[in-house]
Amino acid sequence: MKILFLNGSPRKDGYTVRVMKCIEDGIESKHTVEWIHAYDLGIKPCQSCLQCRPNKECNLPKDDGHHVWHKIRSADALVIGSPTYFGNISGPLKTLIDRNLTAYEEIAASGLEMPISLHIGKKAAMVTACNAPSPISQLPNQSKGALQAMETVLTAGGYDIVGSITLDGAASKKEIPLEIQEEAKMLGVELQS
Ligand SMILES: Cc1cc2nc3c(=O)[nH]c(=O)nc-3n(C[C@H](O)[C@H](O)[C@H](O)COP(=O)(O)O)c2cc1C
């Protein structure tokens, strides 16, 4: 099975990535794990032409957005992680997600029918890190907003979301707390079952 990790944090040793790596620890070595770091990519923002629906391909000149489309389409499971920025996901991750509308769902050319989710039966997990401590972190304009943004796209894709992890009060934590490490590892185990 191919498990794709989409990282929306610019910090490759930041809290988001460290929690995502704990999820990876729960995945057996027989599976293929691939990471995509949104901040490493050159992706022009979606222009909302919606030509990707009939054409089955983005109309923009080829860039990393096209490359990620194939990765998302072919992955058997997905882990999305992002720091909480103003109660949302990071800009580069949002750009990556928007550019890949048809990687998650297809809509008939008429645009009048319900979208078809392309990943029914696949599993997904979500991670966010934020500085606000609990319970403030769980407000809709805090980490909950970031998780909601990820959930929206995963739901469009039809994924079964096995769980989410919020590392709140991040700045006050030098290490990822053991219980979070264990919880994340268990998500990794669940993704492959
Ligand atoms: C632009 C920006 C906006 C942020 N907005 C919030 C926020 O709304 N709530 C919050 O608790 N933390 C916020 N933070 C703090 C980050 O969520 C926190 O530093 C997080 O640990 C970063 O994740 P990382 O360690 O994976 O880079 C913000 C940080 C930045 C740079």
* Ligand 1 geometric centre to CA of 160 (Å): 27
Candidates 84, 141, 165, 166: which one to mutate for ligand 1, based on the most atoms within 8 Å of Cβ?
84
* Ligand 1 geometric centre to CA of 78 (Å): 22
* pLDDT at res. 97: 98
Residue 166 has pLDDT above 80, yes or no: yes
- DSSP for 56-110 reads SS--SPS-HHHHHHHHHHH-SEEEEEEE-BTTB--HHHHHHHHHTHHHHEE--TT
* Ligand 1 geometric centre to CA of 130 (Å): 5
* Ligand 1 geometric centre to CA of 171 (Å): 9
* pLDDT at res. 111: 66
- The domain limits of the chain are 2-191
117 Cβ contact list (under 8 Å, min separation 6): 104, 105, 156, 157, 158
* pLDDT at res. 114: 84
Q: Is 111 left (phi over 0), alpha (psi -120 to 50) or beta?
A: left
Reported CATH class of domain 2-191: alpha beta
Residue 113 has pLDDT above 80, yes or no: no
pLDDT, tens digit, for every residue of 30-83? 999 999 999 999 999 999 998 998 888 999 999 999 999 999 999 999 999 999
Residue 112 has pLDDT above 80, yes or no: no
90, 20, 65, 68: CA torsion to nearest 10: -160
Q: pLDDT over 70 for what percent of the chain?
A: 97
